[in-house]
Amino acid sequence: MEGNWNVEIEYKHVERFEPGSSESVTYLDQHGYVILKETLTEKEAEKTLSLLWDYLEDLGTGIDRKDPRTWEDDRWPTSAHGGILPSYGIGHSESQWFLRSIPNVKKAFAKIWGTDELLTSFDGVSLWRPWNINPSWKTESGQSWFHIDQHPITRPGKQCIQGLVNLLPTSQDIGGNVVVPGSHRFFKNIPSEYKERLAKLPLGIDHFRFPNDDPKLSSEKPLMCHMEPGDMLLWDSRTIHCSNSGIKLPEGAKGLIRAASLICMMPKERSNEDVINQRRKAVERVISTTNWSDTFRNADEFPVILEAKDREKYKWPPKPKLTDYQKDLVG
């Protein structure tokens, strides 16, 4: 089973495009991913991160941004695979709403879909703690979870472009997102090639994992793209991807090593009244979601969150006060 266990990942400075440029969309269609440069200014990236710390400190568990000794699991919010914080109101934190309101972010998605009428996801953030302080903070190796985020049978074709805004410097040593370039093209054949594996996947679950020795994982060399703080990565939900933890950290690292905000916008016309009503309620009730906005997927109901024994102890952020611009993104 583990014949090809060591898929080699290449850390690369790939071409970076202007947010909202036609070239970025052409590149995305061709390669299944694209990097948009300076989608946030350095200042905006700093502010997003600082607001994220406000969110963490306001959970009331005793986290102090200046003291990594307060970042242990008994205070840190439950994370899903790859160090992603999906719940406890993070999708409606001031930080995530600030990010969604930056015009370049919407511009990027508007160019892809050919419309300004977009709805935003209410999703979370990948945060990596410096695991030289506590080795258990190290997140998964990429090879354990190469996946796509779209059901191969129930969602044919191009449906969703996912986004991630990078807030800290990246490096090979730290690790980060990995994409298999061009792998969105395998998607249409998955139903016939993975019959058995697919039979186990519920029709409403938009997450399909590849066997860790699958030749598709190295069909083209998997790429970890260099990103500056403020750059945004976009990828097609059909593109095989994951995040991969690096192997060593800079000497004496004691701050967060990765902060990557997840953000996704889809055309409003794909949605319907029922979904939009649930989205409005989600704002009132501070419910986070996955990347999809054409259906309602409640991230607070992820098994990892429902199973967390201490979930009562987190103080959620208040209901967000939205501007008209933000309300339009709710629907």
Ligand X SMILES: O=C(O)CCC(=O)C(=O)O
Binding of residue 165 to ligand X (CB under 6 A) = no
Cβ atoms within 10 Å of 71's Cβ, excluding its own: 21
Between 197 and 207, name the residue whose CB sits nearer to ligand X. 207
Binding of residue 40 to ligand X (CB under 6 A) = no
Among 61, 93, 95, 126, indicate the residue that binds ligand X (CB under 6 A).
Answer: 126
With CB atoms as reference, the residue minimizing the distance to ligand X is: 177
Displacement of CA 249 from its chain's centroid (Å): 22
Taking the C-alpha atoms of residue 169 and residue 255, their distance in angstroms, rounded to an integer, is 12
Binding of residue 166 to ligand X (CB under 6 A) = no
Taking the C-alpha atoms of residue 225 and residue 218, their distance in angstroms, rounded to an integer, is 16
- CA torsion through residues 161, 322, 167, 244, sign: negative
Between 146 and 316, name the residue whose CB sits nearer to ligand X. 146
Buried b (16+ CB within 10 A) or exposed e, 213-238: ebeebeebebbbbbbbbbbbbbbbbb
Region binding Fe ion by CB under 5 A among candidate stretches 22-30, 143-151, 174-182, 247-255: 143-151
Residues 82-111: x/- map of binding to ligand X (CB under 6 A)?
x-----------------------------
Region binding Fe ion by CB under 5 A among candidate stretches 15-23, 129-137, 145-153, 319-327: 145-153
223 binds, among ligand X, Fe ion, none (CB under 5 to 8 A by kind): none
* Closest CB 273 distance from Fe ion, rounded Å: 28
**How does strand 33-36 pair with strand 16-17?**
parallel
* Closest CB 177 distance from ligand X, rounded Å: 3
- In single-letter form, the type of residue at position 216 comes to K
* Closest CB 303 distance from Fe ion, rounded Å: 16
Contact of 118 with 106, CB cutoff 8 Å: yes
Binding of residue 236 to Fe ion (CB under 5 A) = no
Between 39 and 243, name the residue whose CB sits nearer to ligand X. 243
Count the site residues for ligand X by CB under 6 A.
Answer: 10
* Closest CB 194 distance from ligand X, rounded Å: 19
Closest CA to 289 of 122, 79, 42: 122
Residues 267-306: x/- map of binding to ligand X (CB under 6 A)?
----------------------------------------
Q: In this structure, what are the phi and psi dihedrals at residue 259, rounded to the nearest 5 degrees?
A: -140, 115
Count the site residues for Fe ion by CB under 5 A.
Answer: 1
Cβ atoms within 10 Å of 152's Cβ, excluding its own: 22
317 binds, among ligand X, Fe ion, none (CB under 5 to 8 A by kind): none
3-state secondary structure 4-17: CCCCCCEEECCCEE
102 binds, among Fe ion, ligand X, none (CB under 5 to 8 A by kind): none
* Closest CB 267 distance from ligand X, rounded Å: 19
**Sequence-separated (6 or more) residues with CB below 8 Å from residue 52:** 93, 95, 125, 127, 167, 259, 261
Binding of residue 177 to ligand X (CB under 6 A) = yes
Displacement of CA 42 from its chain's centroid (Å): 20
Binding of residue 236 to ligand X (CB under 6 A) = no
Binding of residue 149 to Fe ion (CB under 5 A) = yes
**How does strand 265-267 pair with strand 147-148?**
unpaired
Between 28 and 63, name the residue whose CB sits nearer to Fe ion. 28
Beta-carbon-side half-sphere exposure of residue 47 (alpha carbons within 13 Å): 13
Closest CA to 219 of 187, 176, 175: 187
| List of residues contacting ligand X (CB under 6 A) | 82, 126, 149, 162, 164, 177, 241, 243, 260, 262
| List of residues contacting Fe ion (CB under 5 A) | 149
